[in-house]
């Protein structure tokens, strides 16, 4: 039976045996034939091309050569002991070297036999050599067998030492694949195979490991990647369906006085089309009887706050309380101040609750929340505490969601007394949409993709530390024009002491260059007490100080429209999304704004690309794409929980388009058959079950 074969223990595969089996299990989590078949190459080398030795002119890439060997000898002693041989073809010669495994390799090298050699040339003493090449007689080689493409597998040192290097794994795969004969069941319904022109699963597996040719390899990879992404999407969408069925949504069906009054009399500007669209999306959701769990993505400065406010008023109009949660005290305070001002003449009651709220005030707030006299509470994590109880919480806004975990979200949910409150999560860290859909599979997504009119794009430049005096000159100019300036220093936990010193040194040199009484300089960092921080922050907000020296505490949300210049020190130490967030602190007023990225003279390739990207574009989504390419999805928040890190063959950075296809196919399938009851879809039911099992297996290894 098909099943039995795939579940056979790996020990029983020819060429494996108990010792190697033990290692395969321990190092790679490969327990069965099926597991091994699921272990795909990470790249393929084209062995159809053989190069003349004389054509080697760089130590760039791996290369395949063909020739006879001579002068086989062992040189040196003890640690410098090495085996060398000369490989010669009609164009020239090159030295081959082995430092390890000499005792195994030496006897296999025969003079005057023709070999195929594969390896990476390196230049040493003005000559090229190849150390630890793969080598085998032409007659055994893939070239002779007319196989062009060979998969390269990740392996470990321990496995390599037992003969399971990249090629060793290829050999056992080949062995296993050659036994396949209707052993791998199809997992996709015939109608999908047909529509997307997918090859059968077994054929795909065979060709992924031992490609017949380039074309079949591409078909195999397409089929397998599609399948993987498709099942992931299908399972996410199914979960969401089940969840929305389970949760009854509170219904906000009135657009009442508060909303209208604010919209007509107090809204200080015309909404952008994107803002209008998103408000509509939210209104439709909260009026539908479904529970809303929505992610609002919008670049810094795109105007998410007013969307939150209007929809909060909608909740209040329907008799509910609302809360807005922010990740830092500064940001919560700023939201509170901003909202209070906008609502000043509206008779909506609003309070602020943070870690530093005094007991007496805190008690008052608790009471107001419990008796329902408070409409809006703005705050930090303090809002999650068990002591905070509401009379009828109906709507929760969470700003900058990447700082909050799923667990915290659900704690807020639990505070609803008449049902689960609707949730709007706002983030300014845009991630590519397809990825967002997968990461936050349980959320719906709205995007504000338009900035309010009249914004001038921020001009960004990159300067080396050596240009510091000029940069100071520029700071002076901006201040003379009446503008304010941020100077930001990195503060990374691992090197906190050094960073703190850098910050203080920087602060001192700024104060020396911009002395009192002509200039006032604020400083804000994480080691300051909350009230001291707040005091300094407020001085800057009110325009009493012209320069704000700070660590990344200002990263999130702070709004000072008169600030027109952001200088980021040691910019190479920040990630792209963080740089983008920081830059978003300027460009909020009508004036031309600037961002200067200061770095040392030595930059890594990555560092250079990050600076270039920042200089080139202000578009958060474009920056997010580059970030994703540089860091891979593994570093993105949320990827761990989502199952994306366990992808076997698909790769989110490269296969985004395919992800999109997989997503829409999954949507389509569920639209027609939400419970997957149609006989055609029974394969899908089984596939989802299998997916649940693999998830468990993964937790077993990591
Ligand atoms: P973010 O999306 O980064 O949270 P904010 O909500 O803080 O952005 O808005 C940034 C600034 O833009 C604020 O000063 C806000 O008053 C202003 N703003 C928001 N929407 C509009 C609009 N439609 N027209 C003009 N200004 C707007
Ligand atoms: Mg904001």
Cβ proximity of 430 and 341 under 8 Å: no
Cβ proximity of 434 and 663 under 8 Å: yes
d(CA 439, CA 602): 35
**Proximal ligand: closest to the CA of 307:** 1
Nearest Cα residue to atom 9 of ligand 1: 303
Cβ proximity of 102 and 74 under 8 Å: yes
Q: Give one word for 627, left, alpha or beta, with left for phi > 0 and alpha for psi -120 to 50.
A: alpha
Dihedral pair phi/psi, residue 508, rounded to 5°: -60, -40
Q: At what angle do helices 620-631 and 605-616 cross, to 10 degrees?
A: 170
**CA torsion through residues 6, 11, 17, 20, sign:** positive
CA nearest to 624, candidates 646, 650, 656, 596: 656
Going from the Cα of 633 to the center of ligand 1, the distance in angstroms, rounded, reads 30
CA nearest to 53, candidates 162, 130, 138: 130
**Proximal ligand: closest to the CA of 399:** 2
Structure tokens at 199: 């090859």
What domains, with CATH codes, occur in the chain?
48-146 (2.40.50.140), 216-247+649-700 (no CATH), 257-286+303-427 (3.40.50.300), 459-617 (3.40.50.300)
d(CA 522, CA 534): 11
Residue with structure tokens 């890439």? Answer: 61
Going from the Cα of 494 to the center of ligand 2, the distance in angstroms, rounded, reads 28
Angle of CA points 65, 69, 74, to nearest 5°: 120
pLDDT confidence of residue 640: 45
**Residue 166 CB partners (closer than 8 Å, separation 6+):** 152, 153, 154, 155
- The parts of the chain modelled with pLDDT lower than 70 are 1-3, 59-60, 140-147, 401-409, 430, 432-434, 437-442, 492-494, 553-558, 632-646, 694-702
- Rg of the Cα atoms in the chain: 31
d(CA 166, CA 580): 40
d(CA 180, CA 207): 12
- Among 276, 279, 297, 305, the mutation site with the greatest number of ligand 1 atoms within 8 A of its Cβ is 305
What is the number of the ligand 1 atom nearest to the C-alpha of 304?
A: 2
Going from the Cα of 280 to the center of ligand 2, the distance in angstroms, rounded, reads 20
pLDDT confidence of residue 442: 64
Nearest Cα residue to atom 22 of ligand 1: 452
CA distances 667 to 186, 241, 347, 589, Å, are 21, 11, 45, 42
> How, if at all, do strands 93-98 and 127-131 pair?
parallel
Q: Within 10 Å of residue 433's Cβ, how many Cβ atoms?
A: 17
Q: Within 10 Å of residue 181's Cβ, how many Cβ atoms?
A: 8
3-state DSSP assignment of residue 327? coil
**Residue 561 CB partners (closer than 8 Å, separation 6+):** 588, 589
Nearest Cα residue to atom 18 of ligand 1: 303
- Among 274, 278, 450, 452, the mutation site with the greatest number of ligand 1 atoms within 8 A of its Cβ is 452
pLDDT confidence of residue 147: 59
**Proximal ligand: closest to the CA of 338:** 1
The full DSSP string for 584-651 is: TTSS-SSS--EEEEEE-S---HHHHHHHHHHHH---HHHHHHHHHHHH-GGGSTTHHHHTGGG-SS--
pLDDT confidence of residue 634: 55
pLDDT confidence of residue 451: 87
Structure tokens at 125: 């003493």
d(CA 309, CA 397): 9
Going from the Cα of 204 to the center of ligand 2, the distance in angstroms, rounded, reads 47
* Binding-site residues, ligand 1, Cβ < 6 A: 269-272, 275, 298, 300-306, 428, 452, 559, 588
Instruction: State the number of CA atoms in the 13 A half-sphere of 596 facing the CB.
Output: 20
- Chain centroid to Cα 414, Å, comes to 29
Nearest Cα residue to atom 19 of ligand 1: 303
Q: What's the predicted TM-score (pTM) here?
A: 0.68
- Among 275, 303, 309, 332, the mutation site with the greatest number of ligand 1 atoms within 8 A of its Cβ is 303
What is the number of the ligand 1 atom nearest to the C-alpha of 308?
A: 6
């Amino acid at each position: 039976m098909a099943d039995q074969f795939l579940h056979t223990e790996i020990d029983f595969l020819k060429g494996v045996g108990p010792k190697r089996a033990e290692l395969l299990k321990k190092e790679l989590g490969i327990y069965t034939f099926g597991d091994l078949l699921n272990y795909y190459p990470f790249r393929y080398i084209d062995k159809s091309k053989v190069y003349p030795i004389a054509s080697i002119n760089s130590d760039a890439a791996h290369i395949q050569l063909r020739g006879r060997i001579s002068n086989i000898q062992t040189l040196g002693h003890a640690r410098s002991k090495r085996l060398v041989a000369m490989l010669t073809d009609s164009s020239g010669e090159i030295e081959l070297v082995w430092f390890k495994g000499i005792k195994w390799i030496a006897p296999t090298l025969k003079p005057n036999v023709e070999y195929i050699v594969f390896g990476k040339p390196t230049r040493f003493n003005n000559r090229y050599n190849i150390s630890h090449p793969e080598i085998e007689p032409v007659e055994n080689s893939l070239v002779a067998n007319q196989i062009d493409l060979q998969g390269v597998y990740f392996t470990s040192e321990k496995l390599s030492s037992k003969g399971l290097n990249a090629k060793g794994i290829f050999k056992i795969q080949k062995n296993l694949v050659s036994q396949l004969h209707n052993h791998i069941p199809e997992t996709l319904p015939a109608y999908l195979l047909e529509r997307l022109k997918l090859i059968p699963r077994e054929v795909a597996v065979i060709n992924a490991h031992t490609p017949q040719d380039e074309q079949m390899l591409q078909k195999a990879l397409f089929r397998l990647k599609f399948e993987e992404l498709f099942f992931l999407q299908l399972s996410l969408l199914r979960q969401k369906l089940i969840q929305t069925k389970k949760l009854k949504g509170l219904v906000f069906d009135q657009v009442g006085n508060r909303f209208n009054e604010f919209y007509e009399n107090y809204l200080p500007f015309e909404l952008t089309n994107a803002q209008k669209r998103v408000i509509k999306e939210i209104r439709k959701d909260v009026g539908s009887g479904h529970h809303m769990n929505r992610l609002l993505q919008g670049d810094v400065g795109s105007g998410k706050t007013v969307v939150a406010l209007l929809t909060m008023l909608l909740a209040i109009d329907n008799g509910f309380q609302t809360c807005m949660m922010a990740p830092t005290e500064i940001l919560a305070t700023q939201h509170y101040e901003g909202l209070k001002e906008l609502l000043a003449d509206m008779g909506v009651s609003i309070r602020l609750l943070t870690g530093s709220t005094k007991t007496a005030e805190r008690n008052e707030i608790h009471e107001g929340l419990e008796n329902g006299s408070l409409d809006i509470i703005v705050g930090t994590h303090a809002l999650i505490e068990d002591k905070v109880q509401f009379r009828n919480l109906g709507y929760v806004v969470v700003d900058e969601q990447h700082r909050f975990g799923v667990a915290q979200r659900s704690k807020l949910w639990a505070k609803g007394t008449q049902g689960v409150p609707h949730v709007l999560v706002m983030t300014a860290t845009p991630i590519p949409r397809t990825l967002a859909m997968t990461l936050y599979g349980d959320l719906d997504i709205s995007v504000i993709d338009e900035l309010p009119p009249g914004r001038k794009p921020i001009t960004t430049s990159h300067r080396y530390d050596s240009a510091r005096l000029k940069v100071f000159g520029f700071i002076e100019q901006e201040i003379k024009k009446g503008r304010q300036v941020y100077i930001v220093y990195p503060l990374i936990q691992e090197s906190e002491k050094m960073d703190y010193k850098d910050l203080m040194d920087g602060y001192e040199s700024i104060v020396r260059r911009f002395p009192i009484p002509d200039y006032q300089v604020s400083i804000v960092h994480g080691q300051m007490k909350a009230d001291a921080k707040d005091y300094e922050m407020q001085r800057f907000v009110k325009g009493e100080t012209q320069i704000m020296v700070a660590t990344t505490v200002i990263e999130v949300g702070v709004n000072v429209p008169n600030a027109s210049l952001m200088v980021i020190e040691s910019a190479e130490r920040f990630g792209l999304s963080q740089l983008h967030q920081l830059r978003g602190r300027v460009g909020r007023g009508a004036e031309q704004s600037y961002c200067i990225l200061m770095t040392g003279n030595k930059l890594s390739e990555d560092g250079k690309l990050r600076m270039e990207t920042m200089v080139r574009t202000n578009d958060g989504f474009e920056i997010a794409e580059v970030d994703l390419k540089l860091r891979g999805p593994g570093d993105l928040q949320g990827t761990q929980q989502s199952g994306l890190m366990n992808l076997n063959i698909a790769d989110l950075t490269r296969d985004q388009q395919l992800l999109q296809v997989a997503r829409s196919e999954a949507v389509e399938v569920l639209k027609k058959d939400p419970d997957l009851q149609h006989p055609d879809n029974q394969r899908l039911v089984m596939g989802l079950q299998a997916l649940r099992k693999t998830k468990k297996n993964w937790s077993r290894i990591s």
